[in-house]
Amino acid sequence: MKIGLLGGSFNPAHDGHLHISRDAKRRLGLDQVWWLVSPQNPLKPTAGMGPLSDRVAGAEAVATCPWIRVTDLEQNLGTDRTWKTLQLLRTRFPKAQFVWLMGADNLAQIPNWSRWSKIFQSVHVAVFDRSPYSHKALSGKAAWRFASRRLRAARPVALWQKKNPMWVYVAQRRHGASSTAIRSGRDD
């Protein structure tokens, strides 16, 4: 089974999360996408963070596709670091093939994450265009560190034929939704 993992605060979940999930399923040939609702992102302030149960319920309301599974797995596993979550998932689901899904904004700042290079080494990574962050992300530290392991195929589904570390940048139609904008009452 090929599973895309979309982690985040989902504070709140919105159509942009659904957009990237649909695109990932179609372009990467995924069977499922799991939304990993984080108990608390260590790099984000706790002020303004909704309760986990509310964020999970909000994500379930947005995740209208039967192949999307909303989960508070990190809470259940007792992890708050992506690399550790991935390590535990690979142990618990040894037959699954995982790909970490992220927007270009996260690729730009992933060097701030704990043991971020272990993420690339443990699962495939698919980075989705998210203007205006894409240029900065593609010229940033993570993109340079793993430049030789970037799949330059027109068909991102070819990612599954490669060994880790391997990542792909997926150009896509821009979706304007943003949790930050939603919380502040803006329409971006």
Phi, psi of 45, deg, nearest 5:
-70, 150
Question: At residue 166, what is the residue type?
Answer: M
Residues 6+ apart with CB under 8 A from 9: 37, 38, 40, 41, 44, 49, 55, 179
- How is residue 21 written in tokens? 């999930």
Res. 88 pLDDT band, cuts 50 70 90: very high
What's the rounded Cα separation, in Å, for the pair 182 and 122?
33
pLDDT digits 0-9 by tens, 153-168: 778 899 999 999 999 9
What is the chain's mean pLDDT, rounded? 90
- How is residue 40 written in tokens? 């608390």
Superfamily of domain 2-184: HUPs (3.40.50.620)
Q: Where are the alpha helices (DSSP H) in 115-172?
A: 116-122, 134-138, 141-145
Q: Which residue has the higher pLDDT, 142 or 173?
A: 142
Domain boundaries, the chain: 2-184
- Rounded to an integer, the average pLDDT of 104-126 is 95
Res. 185 pLDDT band, cuts 50 70 90: low
The greatest distance separating any two alpha carbons of the chain, rounded to the nearest whole angstrom, comes to: 43
What is the predicted pLDDT for the residue at 184? 59
What is the predicted pLDDT for the residue at 131? 78
pLDDT digits 0-9 by tens, 32-76: 999 999 998 888 888 889 999 999 999 999 999 999 999 999 999
Is it the case that residue 177 has pLDDT exceeding 80? no
Res. 178 pLDDT band, cuts 50 70 90: low
What is the predicted pLDDT for the residue at 104? 92
Rg (CA), the chain: 15
pLDDT digits 0-9 by tens, 3-13: 999 999 999 99
Task: Give the global pTM.
Answer: 0.89
Contact (CB, 8 A) for 31 and 11: no
Is it the case that residue 182 has pLDDT exceeding 50? no
What's the rounded Cα separation, in Å, for the pair 33 and 126?
13
Phi, psi of 99, deg, nearest 5:
-135, 130
What's the rounded Cα separation, in Å, for the pair 175 and 20?
9
